[in-house]
Amino acid sequence: MGEESKHVAHCLVLAYPAQGHINPMIEFSKRLIQRGLKITLVSTVSFWNTTTPHTLKSLSSSDPQNIQVESISDGYDNGGLAAAESLEIYKETFWKVGPRTLSNLIQKLASNNNPVDCVICDGFLYWALDVAKDEFGILGALFFTQPCAVNNIYFHVYKKWLELPLSESEYLIPGLPKLAASELPSFLYDYGSYPGYFDIIRNQFCNIHKADWVLANTFYELESQVVNWLKEIWPLKTIGPCVPSMYLDKRLLHDNDYGVSIYDQNIDSCIKWLNDKTKGSVVYVSFGSMAGLTEKQTEELAFGLKESDCYFLWVVRDCDHAKIPKWFLETNDSEKGLVVTWCPQLLVLTHDAVGCFLTHCGWNSTLEAICFGVPTIAMPLWTDQITNAKHIKDVWKMGVRVDADEKGLVRRESIGNCIKEILESEKGNEIKNNALKWRNLAKDSVDEGGSSDQNITEFVAKLAQLCST
């Protein structure tokens, strides 16, 4: 009699419907597929409707790194958050409709002889853990797309170990450097701002005791002290950086892109322009896919770039393009500075011509800068970006941070000084060396035998063991 076929564990990976959340979960899924697991990637109908068609096809093709794609509803299938009256109403609706449609999906997959063994859910969608554990009795993991330092701060808020509104000028939180109140995430420092997002972030931990695993998109060497502290209270595993393999360990062939994008990318024009520039001469400027600059801040940035007399590649989203001063567009020499609506950030950051990255310090962009050894000019806007900027400058020492005035405006002089400090000064050379050090440590962590590689291997082994019992 032939040997019984071995059960292949099936993970349903549920991502919050935003580019910065789905990208790392896709890359983690590819690592799991490499180890023999079956993956179904899930986000909302409204999110999939915004992606370019070829990207979804590439995820669900016959590629060896095949990821099946499914969807649930957020209650706004024809527009998502943009169709809701407010973030608070969107969240309330999604939190009612999402669990029900997730349950229906798990039942549908089971009826199609494709039962789910484990739900890996974005920390923002923590209610999916209740669906997995309470309704179906299957394994569940929380996946945090933000750094452990920030998760620890929010956890302290949830436990009321850190009381709001803030009343101290400085805070000492286990595993973290001393933080000024203004270096905490904006939801705390600017208490009462964006209550909908704050509610989601604070409640990520309400059912963490149910999680069989807590997975974090970071690597041990980068945040060792806070990881050690959190491992005492959570079943935590660092499994990042979740960046396409061909930029790190190169063990996943052809994995050179996340695979999903809500923007059309100006690949040819960006790379052709960079190819004509000397090594380390270009400032790459991008503020991510969510928040934008004010009109006044955009003007100061334009002045700062112009007066620094450097080469620059500046990404300005379509919705923000009207904020660029007319004088800047009329006088800008496209050979000196290229302004685009979006670009292939991975290819840009790994290009020899790029000398530094002026960034909002979103966690994905921060990790990419770390992975590619790119010195960073930190210009945070909100949420976790402020705390990430603190680490970039003072902990990892791989960048500088712009100074804002009493009105919160970053002036052109500060922008220009930071550019010159990295590209032209002796301190800039030290920053570049530190950036290269972190690049090597990031690569080592996901390479065979590295800290994140071992954690993923242990996760897969334990999952297989639990599924076979």
Which residue numbers are catalytic? 21, 122
Q: How far is the CA of 252 from the CAs of 27, 56, 121, 249, 345, in angstroms? A: 10, 19, 23, 8, 20
Alpha-carbon distance of 374 to 356, in angstroms, equals: 6
Alpha-carbon distance of 153 to 202, in angstroms, equals: 10
Alpha-carbon distance of 404 to 412, in angstroms, equals: 10
- Is residue 56 within 8 Å of residue 26, measured between CB atoms? no
Name the nearest CA neighbour of 144 among 94, 210, 214. Answer: 214
Whose tokens are 């800290």? That residue is 451
Residue 121 pairs with which residues in a beta bridge? 14, 142
Phi, then psi, of 401 in degrees rounded to 5: -130, 135
Alpha-carbon distance of 175 to 165, in angstroms, equals: 22
Whose tokens are 């520039």? That residue is 277
Q: How far is the CA of 230 from the CAs of 178, 242, 254, in angstroms? A: 17, 20, 35
- Interacting residues of 427 by C-beta distance below 8 A, sequence separation 6+: 421
Q: Say which amino acid occupies 159.
A: K
Alpha-carbon distance of 352 to 41, in angstroms, equals: 34
Whose tokens are 């900027």? That residue is 389
Joined tokens for residue 89: 């109403």
Instruction: Provide the 3-class DSSP secondary structure of residue 205.
Output: helix
- Is residue 38 within 8 Å of residue 67, measured between CB atoms? no
